[in-house]
Amino acid sequence: MHFYKFHIGDYMSHTRHISLLEDLAYRRLLDFYFLHEQPIKHRDAARQIGMRDHEEDVLTILNEFFLSTENGFINVRADKEIAEFRKHQAVSAYGAFIRDNPSLKHLVNKEDYITHYLALSIDVYIGTLRGDDVPIKGTSRGDDAPLTTNHNHNHINTNATVVAFCLPEWIPKETWDAFIQMRKRIGKPATDYAIKLIVAKLERFKNAGQDVKQVLEKSITSSWQDVFEIKGNPYDIGRLTVASSNEPDPALLKIAEDAKKAAPIPLEVLAKMAELRKKA
C-alpha cells in the first residue's frame, strides 16, 4: 500500500529516547514495510532502506520495534493497519457493487462478498450470481487508494465485466486453495497482480522439471507469501547419479595407508610447540 495513517503523538511518545539516525531508520523501515507488505529480511535490511553505513542503528530499531520471525522482521501494529485497510476496501467494493447492480442486491450476502474479496476469489463468487443474460458491472481493486472521504476507493469502471481467475489445470486446486488461505492467515492476502506473478513463476518451475505441488506445499509449511524453486540436496544428487559399489573407496584406502606410514612427532618438537603456545 502507498498510504498509511501516521499518528504523530503516538510516534513521538514511543521514540523520544532514540537518536536522529535511529529515528530516520525507523521511518524508512515503516515506509518499506507498508510499501511491500511483507517481512523485512534479516539480511541486507540496512541496504534495502539506503542506510548501509548505519547498520547498527537499523538493527537497534528492528530489535526494539519489530518482531523477529523465521521469515523476517514483522510489525504487529502495521499488520493490523494493513488488515483494516483491506477490510475497508472490501466494504467499499461491496457498496459499489450493490450500487451498480441493484437487481442482484437480494442475492448478495455482504459477509460472503467481503470474505471472497479478501481471499481474491470475488470474481468466482460474482460468477455464481450471474445469469446467462444478465450483464454484471464490476469494480476494479483500489489496493493503494488512501482512505479519504472524497476519494473513490474502487475506481468504478461501468463498462467492465467480471472475468474470473482461471486456475491452470497443472496447478493442484486443493494445494492452491491452501496456499491462498495461508496467505490470508498470515495477514498477506495476495493481490490480483501477485497471483499473476506467482502463477508465472510456477509455470517456469514446472518447465524446469519442478513439482508444482511440492513447491506450493513448501511455501505453505514455511508460511511464505511467495513461491521458490526447491533446491536439490547435493548428497541426494550424488547418490542418484553415481553408481553404487561394494568395493572400498580407493581415496579412503590411500588415506588409511598414509596414516600407518606417518611417523610420530618427536618429543622435542612437541615441547617447542607447547612453549610457543604459552608465549602466544
Cell of 25: 531508520
Closest CA to 59 of 47, 70, 140: 47
Cβ–Cβ < 8 Å for 180, 119: yes
Question: What's the confidence (pLDDT) of residue 149?
Answer: 39
Cβ–Cβ < 8 Å for 212, 176: no
Q: What is the three-state SS of 222-245?
A: HCCCCCCCCCCCHHHHHHHHCCCC
Give φ, ψ of 201 to 5 degrees.
Answer: -65, -40
> What mean pLDDT value characterizes the chain?
78
The structure's pTM equals 0.41
pLDDT in tens, 214-256: 999 989 988 888 899 887 644 444 444 444 455 666 666 776 7
Residue 224 C-alpha from the chain's centroid: 5
Cell of 125: 463468487
Cβ–Cβ < 8 Å for 213, 177: no
CB neighbour list of residue 234: distance below 8 Å, 6 or more residues apart = none
Residue whose entry in the numeric block shows the C-alpha cell 477490510:
87
Q: Which amino acid is at 139?
A: T
Q: Which amino acid is at 8?
A: I
Q: Which amino acid is at 126?
A: I
Q: Could you tell me the pLDDT band of residue 1, with boundaries at 50, 70 and 90?
A: low
Give the orientation angle of helix 20-36 with respect to helix 8-15, to 10 degrees. Answer: 130
pLDDT in tens, 21-60: 999 999 999 999 988 888 888 878 898 899 989 999 999 9
Higher pLDDT, 63 or 163: 63
Cell of 123: 470474481
48-52, 205-209, 235-239, 275-279: range with lowest mean pLDDT: 235-239
Cβ–Cβ < 8 Å for 191, 149: no
